[in-house]
């Protein structure tokens, strides 16, 4: 199974890029310095050995003898000086200049044939190799120092670059309908980004305000005709109508009552969007739960169902009464709508609450879209619009809560709302 790589923070990516670039440049410079040093070494030592070999050849050809050398060089002529043993590293002929480096020796060697005799000029390079090794260590230390400095400078630079972005992100998260963001930034890229956020916020707030006004106006306009429908149904129900007509009137009255409850919910949500919860105005979960139990328990028991209310834990905090009332009320209404026998349970637990029922449950293919608007389960009854659970999810998202749904193993469904993270 292919694993997804977690994206790294922008600051870390910039810092790593800066360090890698520095390491690459320092490495290339170190390689160039070492290569040039090696080439210069070969040229200088090779030239010295050639001059010494030229002097040997001149003495040997003019005087017929092998001169004594100074300056740290050794001369071998196996055919002319058999008493001077040739090192085994030089036994194989290799005319020209070469470096012989083994675990035992490190030599510069120049071999030539003079008047039919093999002459080998050797210069020990142990001291030079030691200096060269020291130089390599210095170069390597310089590379490491450059990387360390790149890390320190990179952190300071990244902080100066990223801090304004972090402040802008924090301001965006904290932005309500408050002051514009662009005033805190100059006329640079960040300032242009802040201006774009300001424009997006303004357009979004205007759209939300239009939506709120539309919802409020439509809800107000619908209340009067719905009240007329409800009153007319009551008057018709009092008359002497056939049983079939009475059932139709009751069905219309039920649909009108559901529609009126939905309109009231929309009105409450429209008011909530313009009124912030003042300090101390919230209510406890237990208060809203007791209120909703008083509203829904009679309706549930009138259907021949059992209602169980349990407080398994105390949930600290105070919550917006309208939002909590809409969420809890819609979940209880949904449970009543789908349950034909058994019981409905409301349980307060640590961090929130859950509503369980013994209805037909939720099919696996319906779990992914259960909170979408106008989605009704295949076991739905009546003429509901399928907006209740969609409202629950939207309200939870607005309040910073979470809601999940699952099918119970013993049958039925469970909706869990988390008020606390």
pLDDT of residue 65: 80
pLDDT of residue 347: 95
Which secondary structure element, helix H or strand E, spans residue 344, and what is its range?
A: strand 343-349
pLDDT of residue 279: 42
* pLDDT reading at 399 higher than 80: yes
Mean pLDDT of the region 242-261: 76
pLDDT of residue 331: 92
Q: Give the separation between CA 179 and CA 189, rounded to whole angstroms.
A: 20
* pLDDT band with cut points at 50, 70 and 90 for residue 96: confident
Judged by average pLDDT, the poorest of 25-34, 52-61, 85-94, 205-214 is: 205-214
**Higher pLDDT residue, 419 or 365?**
419
pLDDT digits over 400-412, tens only?
Answer: 899 999 988 888 8
* pLDDT reading at 280 higher than 50: no
* pLDDT reading at 143 higher than 50: yes
Give the SS3 label for residue 123: strand
DSSP string, 65-106: SPPP--SSEEEE-TTT-TTSPPPGGG-S---EEEEEE-SS-E
Non-local (6+) Cβ contacts of 355 within 8 A are 328, 331, 332, 334, 335, 344, 345, 346, 347, 414, 415
Q: Give the separation between CA 133 and CA 169, rounded to whole angstroms.
A: 52
Q: Which of 228-232, 280-284, 301-305 has the highest mean pLDDT?
A: 301-305
8 A C-beta contact, residue 275 and residue 267: no
* pLDDT reading at 311 higher than 80: yes
* pLDDT band with cut points at 50, 70 and 90 for residue 177: very low
pLDDT of residue 377: 54
Mean pLDDT of the region 292-319: 91
Question: In Å, what is the CA distance from 319 to each residue of 35, 264, 265, 313, 420?
Answer: 73, 20, 17, 16, 11
Q: Give the separation between CA 194 and CA 185, rounded to whole angstroms.
A: 8
**Higher pLDDT residue, 373 or 353?**
353
pLDDT of residue 1: 41
8 A C-beta contact, residue 417 and residue 401: yes
* pLDDT band with cut points at 50, 70 and 90 for residue 61: confident
8 A C-beta contact, residue 121 and residue 77: no
DSSP string, 167-197: HHHHHHHH-SS-S-SGGGS-SSHHHHHHHHH
* pLDDT band with cut points at 50, 70 and 90 for residue 181: low
pLDDT of residue 2: 46
8 A C-beta contact, residue 404 and residue 344: no
* Percent share of the chain, pLDDT over 90: 13
* pLDDT reading at 144 higher than 80: yes
pLDDT of residue 286: 93
Arithmetic mean of pLDDT over the chain: 78
DSSP string, 394-416: HHHHHHT-EEEEEE-TTSSEEEE
Residues in the chain, how many? 421
pLDDT of residue 346: 95
* Percent share of the chain, pLDDT over 70: 79
pLDDT of residue 277: 46
Q: What is the CA radius of gyration of the chain?
A: 45
* pLDDT reading at 3 higher than 60: no
* pLDDT reading at 182 higher than 60: yes
Nearest residue to 121 (alpha-carbon basis) of 92, 98, 88: 98
8 A C-beta contact, residue 126 and residue 106: yes
List domains and CATH numbers for the chain: 10-144 (3.30.450), 182-275 (1.10.287.130), 280-421 (3.30.565.10)
* pLDDT band with cut points at 50, 70 and 90 for residue 71: low
* pLDDT reading at 42 higher than 90: no
pLDDT of residue 293: 93
Judged by average pLDDT, the poorest of 221-230, 307-316, 352-361, 363-372 is: 221-230
Give counts: helices (H), strands (E), the chain. 8, 9
Local structure of residue 315 (DSSP, 8 states): -
């Amino acid at each position: 199974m292919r694993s997804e790589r977690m994206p790294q923070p922008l600051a870390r990516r910039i810092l790593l890029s800066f360090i890698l670039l520095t390491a690459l440049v320092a490495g290339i410079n170190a390689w160039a310095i070492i290569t040039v040093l090696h080439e210069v070494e070969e040229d200088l030592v090779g030239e010295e050995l050639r001059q010494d070999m030229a002097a040997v050849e001149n003495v040997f050809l003019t005087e017929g003898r092998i001169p004594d050398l100074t300056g740290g060089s050794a001369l071998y002529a196996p055919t002319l000086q058999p008493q001077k043993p040739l090192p085994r590293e030089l036994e194989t002929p290799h005319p020209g200049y070469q470096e012989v480096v083994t675990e035992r020796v490190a030599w510069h060697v120049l071999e030539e044939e003079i008047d039919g005799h093999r002459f080998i000029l050797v210069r020990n390079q142990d001291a030079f190799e030691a200096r060269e090794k020291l130089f390599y260590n210095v170069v390597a230390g310089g590379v490491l120092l450059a990387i360390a400095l790149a890390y320190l400078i990179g952190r300071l630079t990244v902080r100066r670059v990223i801090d304004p972005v972090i402040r802008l992100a924090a301001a965006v998260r904290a932005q309500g309908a408050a002051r514009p963001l662009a005033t805190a930034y100059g006329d640079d890229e960040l300032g242009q980004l802040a201006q774009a956020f300001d424009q997006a916020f303004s357009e979004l707030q205007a759209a939300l305000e239009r939506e709120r006004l539309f919802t409020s106006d439509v809800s107000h306009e619908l209340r009067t005709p719905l009240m007329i429908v409800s009153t007319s149904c009551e008057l018709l129900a009092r008359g002497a109508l056939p049983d079939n007509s009475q059932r139709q009137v009751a069905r219309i009255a039920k649909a009108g009552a559901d529609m009126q409850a939905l309109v009231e919910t929309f009105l409450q949500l429209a008011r909530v969007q313009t009124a912030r919860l003042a300090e101390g105005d919230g209510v406890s979960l237990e208060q809203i739960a007791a209120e909703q139990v008083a509203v829904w328990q009679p309706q549930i028991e009138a259907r021949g169902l059992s209602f169980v209310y349990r407080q398994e834990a105390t949930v600290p905090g105070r919550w917006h009464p309208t939002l909590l009332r809409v969420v809890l009320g819609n979940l209880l209404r949904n449970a009543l709508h789908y349950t034909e026998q058994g019981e409905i349970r409301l349980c307060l637990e640590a961090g929130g609450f859950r509503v369980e029922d013994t209805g037909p449950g939720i099919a696996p293919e319906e779990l992914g879209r259960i909170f979408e608007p106008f989605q009704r389960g295949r076991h739905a009854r009546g003429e509901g619009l399928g907006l209740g659970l969609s409202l629950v999810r939207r309200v939870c998202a607005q309040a910073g809560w979470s809601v999940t749904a699952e099918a119970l193993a013993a049958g039925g469904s469970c909706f869990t709302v988390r008020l606390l993270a």
